[in-house]
Amino acid sequence: MASRTRPAQRRTEALSRERIVEAAVELLDAAGEGGLTVRALTQRLATGPGTIYWHVGNRGGLLDAATDAVVAAALATEPAGAPGTPQDEIRAIALGLFDAIAGHPWLATQLATQLSRSPWGLVTPRIFESIGRRVRALGVPEGDWFTAASALVHYILGAAGQNAANARVLASDADRAEFLDAASRAWEELDPDDYPFTRAVANQVREHDDREQFLAGIDLILTGVTTLHPPTGQAPAPPAT
C-alpha cells in the first residue's frame, strides 16, 4: 500500500501552485492569452482540472496569478553596486519591468487591464508599493506621494508597453534598423516650415537605443521630483529664466 501512495504524493507535491503558475506563464509566452485555457494547462501538466481549480481557480485566476508572478520577479531586481540610492532602486525596478514586459508579449495588456479595471487586485498595489517606498525615501511630502508615484508608474508601464508592441512588429535587429531608418528619412523630408522640430530630431530617431531612452525618461521624472521636493535642509532650485 505504501509503495502505491508515494508516487501519488510526489505528483501532488510536484503540482504545487507555483508549478501551475509557472506552466501558465509558459503557455502565455508560447501562445498568448488565447492559448491559456484550463484544458491546455491540464494537458501540459498531465493532471485533471480539479487540481487547477483547487490551487488557482478559473482562467481569470490563472491570468492574474501569472501576471503577479512575473511582476513580483521583475520588482525584485536589485540595482548594480548595492546598496543603491532610492533613484538607483527606482531605475532598477523600472528596467526590471521594462525587460519583463519585453520578454512576455501578453504582459502589457494584462497590466493595463488590471490597472484600469481592478486596481484593488494584487498587481497594482504591488507595483505602487515598490515605487512608492522609494518616492517616500526621496523625501517627497506625503501629500505628493500619489502624484509622484503615479507619474513614474504610468511612464514605466506606458513606455515599456509601447516598446514591447514595437518589438512584436519588428522581428529582428535588422528589421528595427530598417524601420527606424525609413522613419528617419520620412521625417527628414517633411516640410521645414510645418515640422521644424520633427526634422531636427529625425537623425536621433535613427540612432536611439530603446533602453537608454527609457532610462533617460525615468531620470527626467526623478529630476523633476527631486527639484520640486529636495532633501530636508536643501532649498528648492530657482525656476529657470
DSSP 8-29: HHHHHHHS-HHHHHHHHHHHHH
Q: What angle do CA 118, 111, 59 make, to 5 degrees?
A: 70
Position 225 scores a pLDDT of 94
* Share above pLDDT 70 across residues of the chain, in percent, rounded to a whole number: 86
Q: How confident is the model at residue 173 (pLDDT cuts 50, 70, 90)?
A: low
Check if the beta carbon of residue 23 is closer than 8 Å to that of residue 41.
yes
Is the model more confident about 119 or about 110? 110
d(CA 186, CA 188): 5
Question: What are residue 25's phi and psi, to 5 degrees?
Answer: -65, -40
Position 94 scores a pLDDT of 96
Q: Looking at residues 141-145, what average pLDDT do you find?
A: 93
DSSP string, 144-166: GHHHHHHHHHHHHHHHHHHHHHH
Is residue 191 scored above 90 in pLDDT? yes
Q: How confident is the model at residue 206 (pLDDT cuts 50, 70, 90)?
A: confident
Check if the beta carbon of residue 89 is closer than 8 Å to that of residue 134.
yes
Check if the beta carbon of residue 55 is closer than 8 Å to that of residue 20.
yes
Q: How far is CA 151 from CA 76, 148, 156, 217, 219, in A?
A: 21, 5, 9, 11, 12
Check if the beta carbon of residue 199 is closer than 8 Å to that of residue 187.
yes
To which residue does cell 498568448 refer? Answer: 32
CATH topology of domain 80-228: Tetracycline Repressor; domain 2 (1.10.357)
Residue in 106, 1, 92 with CA at minimum distance from that of residue 63 = 106
Within 8 A by CB and 6+ apart from 72, the residues are 126
Return the domain boundaries, the chain. Answer: 1-57, 80-228
* Share above pLDDT 90 across residues of the chain, in percent, rounded to a whole number: 55
Position 241 scores a pLDDT of 46
Is the model more confident about 237 or about 220? 220
Reported as type and span, the H/E element at residue 97 is: helix 86-103
Is residue 218 scored above 50 in pLDDT? yes
Position 142 scores a pLDDT of 92
Is residue 6 scored above 70 in pLDDT? no
Q: CB 163: neighbour CB atoms within 10 A? A: 18
To which residue does cell 507535491 refer? Answer: 13
Position 82 scores a pLDDT of 62
Quick: pLDDT tens for 63-116.
999 999 999 999 998 787 667 899 999 999 999 999 999 999 899 999 988 888
Q: What is the mean pLDDT of the chain?
A: 85
Quick: pLDDT tens for 8-52.
444 444 578 899 999 999 999 999 888 898 899 999 988 888 888
d(CA 64, CA 121): 8
In eight-state DSSP terms, residue 38 is H
Position 1 scores a pLDDT of 42
Looking at this protein, which amino acid is placed at residue 211? R
Q: Taking the domain 1-57, which CATH number applies? A: 1.10.10.60
